[in-house]
Structure 1
Amino acid sequence: MTRSENPEPRGRYFLLSYAHSPPLASQRPGDLDRWVTRFFGDLDQAVSRHRTEGSGLGGGFFDQRIPLGSDWRAALAGALETAEVLVPLYSPAYFSRLQSGREWESFRRRMLRAGVEDPMSRFVPVLWTPVLGEQHREWARDVPLFEAASPAYPDNGLQALLRLKVYEDAYRIVVDRLARRIVAVAENDPVGPSPADDVDRLDSPFQPEAAAARFAVTVAAPTTETLPPGRDPEAYGSGSPQWRPFPEGHELPLAAYATLVAERLDFAVVVTGVEKLGDDQHDKPGIVLIDPWFVATDGGAETLRAYLESLPLWVLPVVVVDRERHDPRITALARETADIVTDASAPRAETARRAARGIESFQEFVALVPFLIVEAERQYLRKGPMQGSATDTPEARPRLSRDPRAVPGREADD
């Protein structure tokens, strides 16, 4: 093989692991985790500067770089199997979220199976924000603090150094030292790709007894058996949750994508198809994904209207209009569906009203889903059946996000 053939990398330098932030109502979609995004770009560039030419390793992995609509689980699994170093961004939220803890544990187990005597030597943790809890400070004891760069780093965390211009030089020094350490670990003793445990089957080592709050994703869409005559069956499957509009937009069913987003925000998700619409799904926050073509099925309009009339404020209807298949009937169906939702549903916040009016692209759906999930949680916490309910257990009820910015009534700090 010649040098010009550019062989595929045999692994990657690092995987960035962090706690996803729940959005604020005033935020734009592009602002979510923007400081993490900026830090990853800076760190990846610094690693590129210090890497040895011909190392055979690819750059860092950051889940925000996964192409829109791709299989997020498969991409994360691939990164966990190929990264030489894990870079966790330690914060109170990181130690509280099941997803981040599971990523941490999956990587540690992979290192053990690979014969690494000290798996923690393959971690290059970052103090992203001050770690407040005593038990969490114990986990963060191995964070390289680089006090010589700036005493502000151990006191305030790297995010503060990134955000405040007065600490710009100190931030650059810390990033450079992190990059040097990543390159040294990855190149001096490469482990190579190896299997990693499925994160969904692991407990978080930080809070092994924690149970995720539950979130409902209900789908009102036809199946291949109930599809109206003349409708293109490509977007449908044997069950309602398999509905996949926007054929060029995403690999996964729409419900599967919503599930991934909710899981990042620390929910355990229950997906229910159209055949279960009559069941009681109102004891948890949730969203209802509605295909206007469901209204055209036998009895679909009546079923949807009856379901929506009993819908609590913490379950948000989301009408998704697929115009990409150019079926002339969709305009009238979308209008009829929107009228059913408007007539049957109580007044809601602007984000929820926008979703009820109709989403017409996968990009718009991706942008809105985190906001809808957080809005459903907020409504449940404010008005849901949390007192004296038979389902009022740690497993069944949602918990306030560990990110203080997402607590109802709490203002953002930026």
Structure 2
Amino acid sequence: MSILTPGDIDHRVPYFFLSYEPTPKYGPEDTGDPDEWVRAFFERLSRVVAESTALGDSDVVGYMDDERPRAGWSPRTAAALRSCRVFVPLYAPRYFVSERCGREWAVFARRVRRSVSESEQIKAIVPALWVPTPPPKVPAATEEVKFDAAAMGETYQRLGLYGMMRTDLSQAYEASVAELAQRIVDAAESSRVLPGEEMSYQAVHNAFTGYPRRKLQIVLAPAQRAPARSGAYYGGEDAEWNPYYPQSTTSLADYATDLVRNLEYAPEVLILRDSAEEVLGSQPPSAPAVLIIDPWAGDDPELLRQLRRLDDLDKPWIDIIVPWNRDDDQTYRLEGELARKLEEVLRRRLVEGRMSSRISARDTSTIEEFGRTLRAVVHRVGNQYLKHTTAHPPTGPQASRLRLRGPDGAENRINREDRDA
């Protein structure tokens, strides 16, 4: 038996493809492998599947993508998606807000629809319940797949596989893995799915876009590197800015995106210097926004100009956070001076207290504290956005067609005449 991972040079067809959303690391104390439980489950499931089939030692049983490029799929993952016989999505609330998982589902579902008649139910997608997931969090795309957690037992339905592993319910866990393996084997033997054509990641539509998520903008404002500032906190691109280095190995954009997804928003990452008109323009708001400002912004004249512009605007659906790292000696040595420069250009927001914006080092001195602050700020700007988009619809000739947002955050247009009628 062999298990296919992206590091392998192997062109054989995997029996099943495990689709899952990785767990992010949440701070310096999180030094282990956040997906060790997923990996242990995958290896056990692969072994049980192998024991239930006539697969030989050279055959590939399962594929788990544990090496994720910043954008898109690795060539190995793309090949496995195009060729695997069974698709095993690991159900959890995090799974259904994952752009990558939604596209993986779409690729395999497209292969199935090309392989069976419209009247046939999709059998080659065999879900596994990782964490109990309330029905409202499960998108409509899953309706074409039979999934009956109750049939796997009360413990499985109540705890999911992860819960059984963590509570050491080994007997129930082994029974669930055995049942799941049998379902995978039955699906592989009863339905032959045609290979898929080669498609780029960008060309695939996310199958979960019907999930009711509201858009939220994460606007990064890293400073252009000052001579006195270490480059260790900045990558080759603004989106790689990591002010909590070395305790955190994750960019602030990736960390914030994962956290915002868990709050049931659809995050959009913007760079202020590239998106100033979209964020600071006079047009009606399209989404709430959190502006994350580098403490060293005072040494960047162009960034200071944009922040002055922000301070002149009355946009309560935009709030700011300044990430301070207590282990960053450079920043803490100049904390007073850096804070003073920010207060000079953000006087209305910070000094006069028009908003409860966060500049205090006490609120964001570690990545964990930053996360707690971000949760609170997201909740606040989300409420402000709903308040102001409801209370202040656009007026004037340009508003002859109104933009309305439903509870799913989707934008609909109606004629003003239709509304008035």
The answer, yes or no, to whether TM exceeds 0.5 is yes
Alignment of 1:218 onto 2:229 = no
Partners of 1:218 and 1:273 within 8 A in 2: yes
In structure 2, what is the equivalent of residue 86 of structure 1? 87
Tell me, in whole angstroms, the C-alpha distance in 2 between the residues paired with 1:219 and 1:135. Answer: 30
Partners of 1:294 and 1:300 within 8 A in 2: yes
In structure 1, what is the equivalent of residue 106 of structure 2? 105
Tell me, in whole angstroms, the C-alpha distance in 2 between the residues paired with 1:371 and 1:46. Answer: 36
- TM-score, with length taken from structure 1: 0.61
In structure 1, what is the equivalent of residue 268 of structure 2? 269
In structure 2, what is the equivalent of residue 71 of structure 1? 69
Partners of 1:242 and 1:253 within 8 A in 2: yes
Once the two structures are overlaid, the 10-residue window that deviates more, 375-384 or 301-310, is 301-310
Tell me, in whole angstroms, the C-alpha distance in 2 between the residues paired with 1:137 and 1:201. Answer: 15
Partners of 1:217 and 1:288 within 8 A in 2: yes
Q: How does 1:346-385 map to 2 (within 5 A)?
A: 346=353, 357-358=364-365, 364=367, 371=372, 374-385=375-386
SS in 1 for 2:132: coil
Classify 1:102/1:190 alpha carbon distance in 2 versus 1 (closer, same or farther; 3 Å). closer
Q: How many residues align?
A: 363
Classify 1:56/1:185 alpha carbon distance in 2 versus 1 (closer, same or farther; 3 Å). farther
Structure number with higher relative contact order (C-alpha < 8 Å, ≥ 6 residues apart): 1
Partners of 2:291 and 2:318 within 8 A in 1: no
Tell me, in whole angstroms, the C-alpha distance in 1 between the residues paired with 2:302 and 2:139. Answer: 55
Once the two structures are overlaid, the 10-residue window that deviates more, 253-262 or 263-272, is 253-262
In structure 2, what is the equivalent of residue 394 of structure 1? 405
Partners of 2:46 and 2:61 within 8 A in 1: no
Tell me, in whole angstroms, the C-alpha distance in 1 between the residues paired with 2:159 and 2:39. Answer: 15
How far off its partner does 1:267 sit?
A: 0.7
Tell me, in whole angstroms, the C-alpha distance in 2 between the residues paired with 1:334 and 1:78. Answer: 46
Of residues 296, 301, 314, the one that matches 1:298 is 301
Tell me, in whole angstroms, the C-alpha distance in 2 between the residues paired with 1:187 and 1:9. Answer: 23
Alignment of 1:57 onto 2:74 = no
How far off its partner does 1:251 sit?
A: 10
SS in 2 for 1:124: coil
SS in 2 for 1:73: coil
In structure 2, what is the equivalent of residue 178 of structure 1? 180
How far off its partner does 1:59 sit?
A: 4.7
Classify 1:231/1:137 alpha carbon distance in 2 versus 1 (closer, same or farther; 3 Å). closer
In structure 2, what is the equivalent of residue 126 of structure 1? 128
How far off its partner does 1:271 sit?
A: 0.9
Partners of 1:47 and 1:183 within 8 A in 2: no
Instruction: Please give the root-mean-square deviation of Cα atoms over the aligned residues, in Å.
Output: 5.6
Classify 1:111/1:287 alpha carbon distance in 2 versus 1 (closer, same or farther; 3 Å). same
Partners of 1:287 and 1:315 within 8 A in 2: yes
SS in 1 for 2:57: coil
How far off its partner does 1:173 sit?
A: 0.5
Partners of 1:295 and 1:304 within 8 A in 2: no
Classify 1:106/1:290 alpha carbon distance in 2 versus 1 (closer, same or farther; 3 Å). same
Tell me, in whole angstroms, the C-alpha distance in 2 between the residues paired with 1:112 and 1:47. Answer: 26
Classify 1:72/1:141 alpha carbon distance in 2 versus 1 (closer, same or farther; 3 Å). same
Identity %: 17
How far off its partner does 1:82 sit?
A: 1.5
Tell me, in whole angstroms, the C-alpha distance in 2 between the residues paired with 1:137 and 1:180. Answer: 24
Tell me, in whole angstroms, the C-alpha distance in 1 between the residues paired with 2:62 and 2:322. Answer: 38
Partners of 1:215 and 1:267 within 8 A in 2: yes
- TM-score, with length taken from structure 2: 0.60
Tell me, in whole angstroms, the C-alpha distance in 1 between the residues paired with 2:113 and 2:297. Answer: 50
SS in 2 for 1:15: strand
Classify 1:104/1:378 alpha carbon distance in 2 versus 1 (closer, same or farther; 3 Å). same
Tell me, in whole angstroms, the C-alpha distance in 2 between the residues paired with 1:104 and 1:369. Answer: 33
Alignment of 1:286 onto 2:289 = yes
Partners of 1:288 and 1:316 within 8 A in 2: yes
How far off its partner does 1:336 sit?
A: 2.9
